Chain A
């Protein structure tokens, strides 16, 4: 039943793959949005502070013969440009574009209207600079730029503050989904346990009132299948009943008329012929019964009929009655040694089992022999046994005798080879083991049915 793990899909894996990819997308999008808004917040916070020195510089501009000049001592300039975190540079350009103060390699800001300012980013000496540009009424361009350390630090802080909880939530979601799948699938595990514990003949529906909405359709569908199997099995049972009737009734008529003919005076050759016919008819009747018993044992009477406590003593006493005349007719000493022992079982099937054992024993035991039926407890195990003084079953044949239509080579009598197949089938249904032993005397056969000793394959497989 094991298919390759590769081909097997896992609900948990599928759900997790879906969750992880969606969460990654969501967290990525959240990070992008957070970064963008953090960038804006950082620029908003520091741009105003960057414009202040530009305004200060503008206020310290003097005109010398129509030429602008910065009237600020170097110490004051230094103080103005001082910042704890960032490097700050400035530049003042005359209307003709000549740099009159500050660094001379900062490119001029693009289109700027007189009396207005703007902020922009630029790469300067391999550093990202944020620049505040101011164009005064006299068309003099004042620019102050600073590196982005402060801003980046703020963005980082905002990102950490925003994204760490988001990531934690995402991880928790994945963890919960992992555990949740197991929890959510627990009803399936219950259904599985229920199914594993079933006997192969138990076709009652699975109780689905406790099944969650998601599983209920599966359980319903399965119960539908069980229902169809049950119907099929009921039809099969009706078929057996009809077949039994259609076969046994004419056989009964045939046997009766042959027996009536045999009671009349007949010529010796006719009598011999009639006796052969009678023998064949009786045999056909028995094989018919055995085939039906076997079919019954292996079909599903366990559906409606539950196992009930069966007292083997009573079961044997009720079933053995009909074998006594048979034994007397063949001068076989049929005896019983019974104890009251109770096993869970099906009386009908156990009677079929006993019938088969006795039929075999009486058939193969020569006239004047002994057959003993016993039930009781041996070493703590409940058993039912039939012992005879027949020819015995050779060791080499002991496995094969349970096969259908197998007959021990060289045996007398007209066995069908079905008796022990029935015994085993019924024993299997009762979780019992069948053992063939040689009785203490060293002759004959002792067949023992040991109840409650068979390990059920189904449990091993589970």
Chain B
């Protein structure tokens, strides 16, 4: 995947580039808004890691231009400023995720993985560790072994993989799996989750329960 890192601090930029190239991505770096603008108009990126506090322009302005051009790139905003305020602003402008500096490498990697999964083209595969989901054939495999999933379980697993690192509440799950003719009660969600667990846990994948909140695709699954 092609990733643009827009960050003016050389130490951090170098670190980010390092982490991303090790994960096998092609990384470009822009230290200013102008350079970033230039790169974005000439190259199609899958992900932009965007620092808000740039020396020449506001990172939010860059994000706005990007979205105005209908760029399909995912945007992970990095900021050192106010947390919630900037976050809401950034997400409003079309950022896909948001991290406040400083952060751990592991957390950054997890966010990037989830974002790239989401932005993957529909025909592609979703993968987590040895688990892979062939989206066109609707087949899930662990190693070479096929796991039989109902369409509900399939949707649920797909949802967890594209939202890795995030707790999904029962409400959020119900919203995503909603079909016209069926109301999903919290109890029904619990049933689907336990069925999915029964199929993937023997293969070493864990779905954690966060008491009173929802479910989380365990980071150890990656």
When the two chains form their complex, are residues A325 and B9 in contact, meaning their CB atoms are under 8 A apart? no
When the two chains form their complex, are residues A249 and B53 in contact, meaning their CB atoms are under 8 A apart? yes
B171 shortest CB reach to chain A, Å: 9
Please report the C-alpha to C-alpha distance between residue A285 and residue B19 in the assembled complex, in whole angstroms.
Answer: 20
Known A-B contacts A245-B53, A320-B213, A325-B107; the reply to A256 vs B19 at CB < 8 A is: yes
Please report the C-alpha to C-alpha distance between residue A81 and residue B14 in the assembled complex, in whole angstroms.
Answer: 134
Within 8 A of B (CB), among A25-45: none
**A62-70, A167-175, A333-341: which one contacts chain B?**
A333-341
Per DSSP, chain B at the interface is mixed
Which residues on the A side are within 8 Å of B211 (C-beta)?
333-336, 372
When the two chains form their complex, are residues A325 and B165 in contact, meaning their CB atoms are under 8 A apart? yes
Which one of A248, A333, A335 has the highest number of Cβ atoms from chain B below 10 Å of its Cβ? Answer: A248
Which residues on the B side are within 8 Å of A324 (C-beta)?
167, 210, 213, 216
**B34-42, B78-86, B129-137: which one contacts chain A?**
B78-86
Partner of A250, one of B11, B108, B169: B11
Which one of B107, B212, B216, B219 has the highest number of Cβ atoms from chain A below 10 Å of its Cβ? Answer: B212
**B63-71, B98-106, B112-120, B184-192: which one contacts chain A?**
B98-106
B200 shortest CB reach to chain A, Å: 18
Within 8 A of B (CB), among A320-354: 320-321, 324-325, 328, 333-338, 347-348, 351-352
Please report the C-alpha to C-alpha distance between residue A284 and residue B91 in the assembled complex, in whole angstroms.
Answer: 28
How many A-B contacts are there with CB distance less than 8 Å?
110
When the two chains form their complex, are residues B105 and A259 in contact, meaning their CB atoms are under 8 A apart? yes
Partner of A252, one of B102, B165, B216: B102
Which residues on the B side are within 8 Å of A247 (C-beta)?
80
A235 shortest CB reach to chain B, Å: 16
Count B-side interface residues using an 8 Å CB cutoff.
41
Within 8 A of A (CB), among B1-29: 9-16, 18-19
Please report the C-alpha to C-alpha distance between residue A282 and residue B84 in the assembled complex, in whole angstroms.
Answer: 21
When the two chains form their complex, are residues A253 and B12 in contact, meaning their CB atoms are under 8 A apart? yes
- A296-327 vs B, CB cutoff 8 Å, 1 = contact: the mask equals 10000000000000000000010111001100
When the two chains form their complex, are residues A244 and B107 in contact, meaning their CB atoms are under 8 A apart? no
B197 at the interface (CB under 8 A from A): no
A255 at the interface (CB under 8 A from B): yes
Please report the C-alpha to C-alpha distance between residue A247 and residue B212 in the assembled complex, in whole angstroms.
Answer: 36
When the two chains form their complex, are residues A249 and B210 in contact, meaning their CB atoms are under 8 A apart? no
B27 shortest CB reach to chain A, Å: 14
When the two chains form their complex, are residues A245 and B80 in contact, meaning their CB atoms are under 8 A apart? yes
A107 shortest CB reach to chain B, Å: 107
When the two chains form their complex, are residues A335 and B213 in contact, meaning their CB atoms are under 8 A apart? yes
Which residues on the B side are within 8 Å of A244 (C-beta)?
80-82
When the two chains form their complex, are residues B105 and A256 in contact, meaning their CB atoms are under 8 A apart? yes
When the two chains form their complex, are residues A255 and B53 in contact, meaning their CB atoms are under 8 A apart? no
Partner of A255, one of B81, B102, B213: B102
Which one of A249, A252, A296, A325 has the highest number of Cβ atoms from chain B below 10 Å of its Cβ? Answer: A252
When the two chains form their complex, are residues B166 and A321 in contact, meaning their CB atoms are under 8 A apart? yes
Which residues on the B side are within 8 Å of A280 (C-beta)?
none
Please report the C-alpha to C-alpha distance between residue A372 and residue B210 in the assembled complex, in whole angstroms.
Answer: 11
B176 at the interface (CB under 8 A from A): no
When the two chains form their complex, are residues A256 and B12 in contact, meaning their CB atoms are under 8 A apart? yes
Which one of B18, B51, B100 has the highest number of Cβ atoms from chain A below 10 Å of its Cβ? Answer: B100
A7 at the interface (CB under 8 A from B): no
Please report the C-alpha to C-alpha distance between residue A245 and residue B82 in the assembled complex, in whole angstroms.
Answer: 10
Which residues on the A side are within 8 Å of B106 (C-beta)?
259
Which residues on the B side are within 8 Å of A334 (C-beta)?
210-211
When the two chains form their complex, are residues A260 and B18 in contact, meaning their CB atoms are under 8 A apart? yes
Which residues on the A side are within 8 Å of B53 (C-beta)?
245, 249
Which residues on the A side are within 8 Å of B219 (C-beta)?
325, 328
Within 8 A of B (CB), among A220-257: 241, 244-245, 247-257
When the two chains form their complex, are residues A338 and B105 in contact, meaning their CB atoms are under 8 A apart? no
CB nearest neighbor in A for B219: A325
Partner of B104, one of A241, A255, A338, A347: A255
Please report the C-alpha to C-alpha distance between residue A244 and residue B81 in the assembled complex, in whole angstroms.
Answer: 6
B208 at the interface (CB under 8 A from A): yes
6 additional A-B pairs beyond A244-B82, A257-B14, beta carbons within 8 Å, are A252-B102, A256-B102, A263-B105, A325-B110, A333-B211, A337-B212
Interface residues, chain B, CB within 8 Å of chain A? 9-16, 18-19, 51, 53, 78, 80-85, 100-108, 110, 165-167, 169, 208, 210-213, 216, 218-219
Interface residues, chain A, CB within 8 Å of chain B? 241, 244-245, 247-257, 259-260, 263, 281-282, 285, 289, 296, 317, 319-321, 324-325, 328, 333-338, 347-348, 351-352, 372
What are 6 A-B interface contacts by the 8 Å CB criterion?
A249-B53, A251-B102, A256-B105, A320-B167, A334-B210, A336-B210
